[in-house]
């Protein structure tokens, strides 16, 4: 066979190979876009799954423990600002939004006093002074809520640390009876 005859047979084969290469490149692009769409859909499904996971209506309870599905503001077990503050501190919640995780500065302020705490933690809520007897942890104490401080006075053993607490800081105990604090 001479070169012309070989060229006549090879020319259509080269054209077919070029066409197959173009089709393969086109199919590769289509597959790549489909894979990207699948990855985007998976990310959206994971985000939806995270958002739709059952969680408690009350910030102070785990989902399983909140049997009556009450909201945080209607919590009977933690009804006042002091118990809210104690539970928020115990559960390591943000004092502004009562969420366990959030961005650095959530920007929420109290609607009652305008300070940087959640309205449920506001000592001004429900009057200037409030006096309650409560069991906190393993000790019974007397709680005095003033305009900007929660003061806990110990009534029984074991004896906690001494001091007082401002909103947003750990709550500690003053060893003075509540009747003296009120005068």
The predicted-structure confidence for 73-98, as pLDDT tens digits, reads as follows: 888 888 888 888 888 888 888 888 88
Q: What is the band of 1 on the pLDDT scale with cuts at 50, 70, 90? A: low
Q: Provide the number of structural domains found in the chain.
A: 2
Q: What is the band of 128 on the pLDDT scale with cuts at 50, 70, 90? A: very low
Residue 93 maps to a domain? no
Point out the domain boundary residue: 9, 29, 53.
53
> Which comes out higher in pLDDT, residue 151 or 120?
120
Residue 81 maps to a domain? no
Residue 3 maps to a domain? yes
By the 10 Å C-beta count (0-12 exposed, 13-18 middle, 19+ buried), 122 is classed as buried
CA distance 119 to 81: 9
Model confidence at 143: pLDDT above 70: no
Residue 14 maps to a domain? yes
CA distance 100 to 90: 11
Residue 137 maps to a domain? yes
Residue 100 maps to a domain? no
Reported pTM: 0.41
Which two three-digit tokens encode residue 82? 């002091």
Residue 48 maps to a domain? yes
8 Å CB contact between 100 and 92: yes
The closest alpha carbon to 154, from 124, 133, 127, belongs to 133
Residue 159 maps to a domain? yes
Domain containing 174: what range? 130-182
């Amino acid at each position: 066979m001479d070169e012309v005859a070989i060229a006549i047979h090879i020319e259509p084969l080269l054209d077919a190979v070029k066409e197959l290469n173009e089709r393969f490149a086109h199919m590769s692009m289509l597959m790549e876009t489909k894979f990207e769409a699948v990855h985007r859909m998976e990310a959206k499904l994971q985000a939806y799954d995270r958002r739709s996971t059952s969680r408690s209506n009350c910030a102070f309870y785990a989902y399983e423990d909140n049997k009556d599905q009450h909201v945080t503001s209607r919590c009977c077990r933690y009804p006042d600002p002091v118990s809210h503050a104690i539970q928020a501190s115990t559960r390591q919640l943000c004092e502004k939004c009562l969420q366990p995780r959030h961005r650095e500065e959530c920007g929420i302020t109290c609607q009652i006093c305008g300070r940087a705490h959640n309205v449920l933690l506001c000592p001004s809520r429900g009057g200037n002074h409030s006096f309650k007897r409560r069991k906190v942890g393993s000790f019974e104490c007397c709680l005095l809520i003033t305009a900007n401080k929660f003061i806990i006075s110990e009534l029984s053993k074991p004896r906690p640390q001494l001091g007082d607490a401002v909103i947003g800081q750990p709550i500690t105990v003053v060893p003075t009876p509540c009747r003296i604090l009120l005068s």
